[in-house]
Amino acid sequence: MAKKNRSDGYSRATHVAALRSVSEELTKLAEVLSADAEALEKAKVPTAAEGTSFTEWLRTAMRAVGMSLKDLAKATDLSEGVLNSYLTTPDRAKNPSYANVLRICKALEVSVEAPQFCRDWGLE
């Protein structure tokens, strides 16, 4: 059986190279979209300015980033008991210190202007 000549004038190698190039571009696009999706997910973490209590904010933030109490304790170098008290004590009865808020925000990778954030919760 005789080989058919390509009517478009391009060789198989040219087509393969073009497909590889498209594949690489799609991979780059997927990485960008994935990063954007992660940023959007993190953006769902409420700020104090939205009127949430620290307890409410911490619960929501931990859920949004998928971090357990044990993971947060490890990342912040705070005991699970201290973090648990922030999660279970009624509003404003057991708010964290300014330094602990900064540790928690850093561990949760929440971009925050700490002085305003703490002032909103009365933590100055």
Dist CA 22 CA 110 (whole Å) = 35
pLDDT at 65: 84
Which range (4-18, 27-41, 100-114) has the least confidence?
27-41
pLDDT at 75: 92
Give the mean pLDDT of the chain: 73
Q: Can you name the CATH fold of 45-120?
A: 434 Repressor (Amino-terminal Domain) (1.10.260)
Name which of 80, 54, 48, 49 is nearest 67 in CA terms.
80
Residue 121 has pLDDT above 70, yes or no: no
Condensed to tens digits (0 to 9), the pLDDT of residues 14-68 reads 878 887 877 787 777 777 766 655 665 555 555 555 556 778 878 888 888 889 9
Q: What is the pLDDT confidence band of residue 72, given thresholds at 50, 70 and 90?
A: very high
- Give DSSP secondary structure letters for 47-61: -GGGT--HHHHHHHH
